[in-house]
Amino acid sequence: NEKWLEFIQKASTSLKKKEEQEKYATVSKEKGILTILNSGKEPIVTLKLHQDDVAEIIRELGRAQIKLPDPQQTPQTTQRTVNLPQLPLPTFSGDP
């Protein structure tokens, strides 16, 4: 009985190892879930860094006070007189 028990335990242990290796090979191959997850981590980290940068820029823009000139307070432009030369114009009599 003990021999059978040992045999069954050894067989089930080696069978489990074989199954685990097959499953690991399935998930870790080129299109496996582990590869997909690992390839997705880097873009997520990069996006989070950029998200933090954008949030900081938005905070800075919120703190900045942009002062536009008030049209009522702007100084009036000085009026200048320009003398244009008089040009002789032909007189139109109605005949083409």
**What is the Cα–Cα distance from 95 to 24, expressed in whole angstroms?**
103
Residue 47's pLDDT is 92
In sequence order, the 6+-apart residues with CB closer than 8 A to the CB of 26 are: 32
Q: Where are the alpha helices (DSSP H) in 29-86?
A: 33-63
Contact 68, 74 (CB under 8 A): no
pTM (two decimals): 0.34
* Share above pLDDT 90 across residues of the chain, in percent, rounded to a whole number: 9
Domain map (residue ranges) of the chain:
1-29, 31-64
The answer to whether residue 30 scores a pLDDT higher than 80 is no
How many CA atoms within 13 Å lie on the side-chain side of 42?
A: 4
The answer to whether residue 74 scores a pLDDT higher than 60 is no
